[in-house]
Chains A and B, each alone.
Chain A
């Protein structure tokens, strides 16, 4: 039990450290831009945009909030990301970390 807790804390700390490095070197911005480009290329953005429009139509323009939209489209968005995009970004992050430890 305690081990799990400890592991979780360590993970979170590691994640924070990595994120700090990413922001400092500007790599986070570059990765975001790469991800944006890839998601536009594969049509993910257009698909989700269409889905957003549908959700707005359903709920009505006057009553919709950003939180509503986020909770509706997040699961779909996550599922629709193509595997090769995920692989590519993971590869980029790994390369970045390898460089950083040198």
Chain B
């Protein structure tokens, strides 16, 4: 069994070359157009049974198609001494003299060259190709022979973080980022090539490099907690509003950190498109940036004006309906959006999302000039998700900062381990003109897996708004959860995670599609 065919195939190639294979392959095996498909449908039938039978083979020496199951292609082969035939489904060559399939490198290359456009024409995304190491990678593997075996009970990738003075807010976000699978793969594959110059003291100013370094620390196998003093210093010098020894908000830190990482990635990649902060191709945008669609429907003429804004997280209101607040966060460009129609207290993440995507009637005091009928009219506004990021972060707004008082909303909000975002997508809205319960039920039976997410990290705040502490739960292997309390890492039960209060919820897309 090898890639050099067999003597019969060699003889055939000598006599007829590779053209016959290429012609049969590109006409019958792959169909690049609707016409080709029609032709295949009509002509690919067994010449004896006159039916579409299983395992049809096309003779390479003449125009004959026979099925394998009933031996019709065999009969033809022996009768006519045409010993080579091609399987119509897969394009592999069967040699009836050798009585087995034979593989030829040259012909396989021809097959590969004829195939690329097929899936796209029919609406299928690119087919999966297994990874094969390049020569350089093989060399690297040979030279670095130490291997670490990751088993179910391995704790590699888990490490505590020392609290440097109320820095638990930072530690939690770091833990969540370290356990973000796609981000971890990016850094462990050493994809960041830094372009940022060192500063005067010859210290690296790039936050992405520092994060890469932290990944190395976490996967080094060292069990003692890591002291993230360099990270803290970088954050202090780059995000002044987070400097100081006071307790900060973990969510603010998350947005600031993502923003900084994104800026430093941009500086490296050189795609500096000022004014379009979320449109570069850096790893942060690829993973975290989603699109929030806002549809404003004019009550008079029903014209819908749509805008899509990039967001890194979804901020959800808790508690009873408060005056609609549509502000973005103090730090940086574009973080979360929030609106709060509805007159009930949500007790679950799904409730919060329902409220978030419910059409809201903008009162008479908020009339908008309609671009279609050119008059000031009342309108309804609805938010839906246009594009979902690979990692979706939900922020439960537990901290109320009204004039005069600060309060923490400590109500229990349940959140699921698996989340289907289909009912909250813009496409669901377009089918239903507004959210409805029916869509949720349909989603449960949904055949598509594009909008399914799995929980992988939960950041919790315990205590009051004046005096509190952040901890987080992270998911290690598929069913193992660990509680990260600064330098203490302990195993946790999944139910414990789901019963926790929940402040920041990190969900990861279950299945990543190639496109």
Contact = CB atoms under 8 A, between A and B. Distances in A.
A65 to B, nearest CB: 4
Contacts of A19: 41, 52
A26 B123 contact: yes
B100 interface: yes
Interface in B28-58: 31, 34, 37-38, 40-42, 44-45, 50-52
B51 A15 contact: yes
Contacts, number: 53
A26 B101 contact: no
A16 B100 contact: no
B113 interface: no
A86 interface: no
A3 B38 CA distance: 33
Nearest to B123: A30
A16 B52 contact: yes
A64 B41 CA distance: 33
A19 B119 CA distance: 19
Interface residues of A, number: 23
B99 A88 contact: no
Contacts of B38: 24
A72 interface: no
B51 A23 contact: no
A61 B1 contact: yes
A4 interface: no
Q: Which of A25, A26, A65, A92 has the largest count of B CB atoms less than 10 A from its CB?
A: A26
B121 interface: yes
Contacts of B267: none
A16 B51 contact: yes
A62 B1 CA distance: 7
B200 interface: no
Contacts of A2: none
Given A20-B42, A61-B1, A30 B51 contact: no
A46 interface: no
B512 interface: no
Interface string B116-152: 0011011110010000000000000000000000000
Contacts of A25: 37
B198 interface: no
Contacts of A67: 99-100
A29 B119 contact: yes
A64 to B, nearest CB: 8
Contacts of A20: 41-42, 52
B447 interface: yes
B41 to A, nearest CB: 4
Interface in A5-53: 12, 15-16, 19-26, 29-30, 33, 41
Given A15-B51, A30-B124, A88-B447, A24 B101 contact: no
A26 B37 contact: yes
B433 to A, nearest CB: 24
Contacts of B44: 23
B122 A23 contact: no
A22 B42 CA distance: 11
Nearest to B128: A40
Contacts of B122: 26, 29-30
Contacts of B45: 16
Given A16-B45, A61-B1, A66-B100, A26 B40 contact: no
A11 to B, nearest CB: 10
B48 to A, nearest CB: 13
Nearest to A34: B447
B41 A24 contact: yes
Contacts of B118: 29
Contact of B99 (A16, A41, A62, A65): A65
B51 A12 contact: yes
A22 B447 CA distance: 20
Nearest to B101: A66
Nearest to B49: A12
Contact of A29 (B34, B99, B101, B124): B124
A24 B31 CA distance: 10
Contacts of A41: 511
A66 B41 CA distance: 26
Interface in A43-102: 61-62, 64-67, 88, 92
Nearest to B38: A24
A20 to B, nearest CB: 4
B325 to A, nearest CB: 42
Given A23-B44, A61-B1, 12 more contacts: A16-B51, A19-B41, A20-B41, A20-B42, A21-B41, A23-B41, A24-B37, A24-B41, A26-B122, A29-B118, A29-B124, A41-B511
The 5 closest A-B pairs by CB, nearest first: A23-B41, A26-B122, A65-B100, A20-B41, A19-B52
29 contacts: A12-B51, A16-B51, A16-B52, A20-B41, A20-B42, A21-B41, A22-B41, A23-B41, A23-B44, A24-B34, A24-B37, A24-B41, A25-B37, A26-B34, A26-B121, A26-B123, A30-B124, A33-B119, A33-B124, A33-B127, A41-B511, A61-B1, A62-B1, A65-B99, A65-B100, A65-B101, A66-B101, A67-B100, A92-B447
